[in-house]
Structure 1
Amino acid sequence: MLEVRSTGELRSDGKKLTGYAAIFNSETDLGGFVEVIRNGAFRKSLESASNIRALYHHQGDALLGTTRSKTLKLREDPHGLAFELDLPNTTHGRDLAILVERGDVAGCSFGFRVRDGGDRWEQRGPSLVRELLDVELSEVTLTADPAYADTSVALRTRKNIINNDTRRLWLETCLWD
């Protein structure tokens, strides 16, 4: 069963979106249970040769990039699942660039399946808590309605490494080449 969790004109000269599709150790109330993603939950997916897609709002026909084509780059760091996406010069890509620039789309989500033994459930007082330890990642999604409120996305127009200093990331999105 696939599960999903929701975090100017585009020029074709290298605009990118960067951010975090998932944040580690951040509890999110999903109604009925609290979920937390643990560091390393995406490791096997990132080490495998599987093709992970970037989509707009979990829509398969709104493809933005893939790991196979290297238009989507993913990595785990101590903060979470970081991404860098080369936006396509398509209707979805141009529209998304504008929506991110305006702040209408500011979060991310991801689609996954839990591997055997890849989650742990625990009752903590009145709350049922699910820890994600090992998941098969199939997509990252840019969305206006992320399940995990701590995820982020920013529009970039110049090359840069993924940076987890959100204040610097915000400032750099304001500086246009």
Structure 2
Amino acid sequence: MEKKEIRSFIIDKLEIRKSDDNNSMTVAGYVTKFNTRSKLIWGEFYEKVAKGAFARSLEENIIKALWNHRSDFVLGSTKNGTLRLKEDDVGLYFELDLPNSTWGKDAYESIKRGDVDGVSFGFYVRKDKWEYIKEEDVYERTLLDVDLFEISPTPFPAYPESEVAKRSLEEFKKEIKNEKDLDLRKRKLSLELELI
């Protein structure tokens, strides 16, 4: 039987957005960065996540956002789009629209104040690789393919290099506009190349 595992990551910056018009509260950042070492796990080994380790889960799974791994405090879900996840060149990025509930508001406030600055994830291992690092007399595990089922804001993360950025809604809209402009330029260039 597969063993359920949970990993927590420290967050340098947590992106917080609040819209006054509809009272929505959104937090965002990286669940993990690829190829970055965790803290020493159980005093026995280091761990890192390879790029692509979440790809299958993102296609196949309904993934929940929980408050500190508590299934009685559901903050969002990929099923209804309140949790959005994507792998990029840096790591596994998330955006989470918190619920307009007591625990959603409490989570938003704790994250905003910086009391909770970590993100964790729950998974089953499909494929991994182990390596002995002789110079350090320790093992290093690389997660190659995991069955991701939840992410959680948490106060006690295991991966110190994870990052979440704090920015305003205006900065976020500007970034999205820049991404759309870049995408438009790429499509235009592609069409121009086809005509040549």
User: TM tier, shorter chain?
Assistant: 0.7 to 0.9
- Counterpart of 2:13? none
> Which structure has greater helix proportion?
2
Letter in 2 for 1:72: L
Partner of 1:139 in structure 2?
A: 150
Match of 1:17 in 2: 27
1:58–1:68 distance in 2 versus 1, CA, 3 Å: same
Q: How does 1:73-88 map to 2 (within 5 A)?
A: 73-88=84-99
Q: Kindly indicate whether the alpha-carbon contact (under 8 Å) linking 1:104 and 1:144 is maintained by their aligned counterparts in 2.
A: yes
In the TM superposition, residue 154 of structure 1 has moved relative to its aligned partner by: 5.4
Query: Alpha-carbon deviation of 1:152?
Result: 3.5
Question: What amino acid does structure 1 have at the position aligned with 2:130?
Answer: W
Identity of paired residues, percent? 44
Could you tell me whether the CA contact under 8 Å between 1:100 and 1:153 is conserved in 2? no
Matched ranges for 1:93-172 at <5 A: 93-115=104-126, 118-125=127-134, 126-153=137-164, 158=169, 160=172
Q: How many residues end up aligned between the 2 structures?
A: 157
Aligned match of 2:181: none
Query: Match for 1:6: what amino acid?
Result: S
- Give how far 1:158 is off: 2.8
2:15 is matched with which residue? none
The amino acid of 1:84's aligned partner reads E
Counterpart code for 1:17: V
Question: For residues 26 and 164 of structure 2, what CA distance do their matches in structure 1 show?
Answer: 10
TM-score, length-scaled by structure 2: 0.75
How far is the alpha carbon of 1:80 from its aligned partner? 0.6
CA distance in 1, matches of 2:167, 2:108: 9
**Distance in structure 2 (CA, Å) of the matches to 1:137 and 1:129:** 20
Q: Give the letter for the 2:128 counterpart.
A: D
Structure-1 separation of matches of 2:88 and 2:145: 15
Deviations 1:17-59 (CA, angstroms, capped at 9, x unpaired): 00111111111121200101111100100111x2100011111
Q: Which has the larger radius of gyration?
A: 2
Q: Tell me how far apart the structure 2 counterparts of residues 100 and 152 of structure 1 sit (CA, whole Å).
A: 13
The one-letter code of the counterpart of 1:158 is L
Alignment partner, residue 7 of structure 2: 5
Return the alpha-carbon distance in structure 2 between the equivalents of residues 89 and 156 of structure 1: 21
SS in 1 for 2:129: strand
CA distance in 1, matches of 2:144, 2:69: 22
- Can you give the 5+ residue segments of structure 1 that lack an aligned partner in the other structure? 164-177
1:57 matched residue in structure 2: 68
CA distance in 1, matches of 2:79, 2:167: 22
- 2:183 alignment counterpart: none
CA contact (8 A) 2:24 2:100 kept: no
